[in-house]
Amino acid sequence: MDPISTVRMPSHRKLIDIPENVFQALSIKAAAMGTNLKRYIEDMLVREMEDMDDAEIYKYLVSTRPEGKVMLNAQEKEDFEKWLDAHRK
């Protein structure tokens, strides 16, 4: 059995508008695969997420979340290293 379908992950509901021709085509494809449209779309989105490149995600996050670009000053670096050493023991 597929591990994604056996592990319950928190989920989010999202209402989306699908053009009629897309709705019909995907409904037919889902039925041919023995599932319903909702499950087919959910599975398709999971596969898309699994195929995403980590470098692509990182590039997006760096460009949209500037807090990751700020370098530590010497004191912050020293404090972090002390904290890290204390938590490794």
Q: 3-46 pLDDT, tens per residue?
A: 555 667 788 899 999 999 999 999 999 999 999 999 999 999 99
Is 80 exceeded by the pLDDT of residue 60?
yes
Band of residue 68 on the pLDDT scale cut at 50, 70, 90: low
Band of residue 1 on the pLDDT scale cut at 50, 70, 90: very low
- Pull the structure tokens for residue 81: 């290293």
The CB-side HSE value for 19 (13 A sphere, CA atoms) comes to 3
Which amino acid makes up residue 69?
K
Is 70 exceeded by the pLDDT of residue 65?
yes
pLDDT at 6: 63
Which residue's entry shows tokens 């039925």?
Answer: 31
Is 80 exceeded by the pLDDT of residue 82?
yes
Residues 6 or more apart whose CB falls under 8 angstroms from that of 43 comprise 35
Alpha carbon distance 39, 68 (integer Å)? 36
Which amino acid makes up residue 36?
N
> pTM above 0.75?
no
Alpha carbon distance 85, 23 (integer Å)? 55
Average pLDDT, the chain: 85
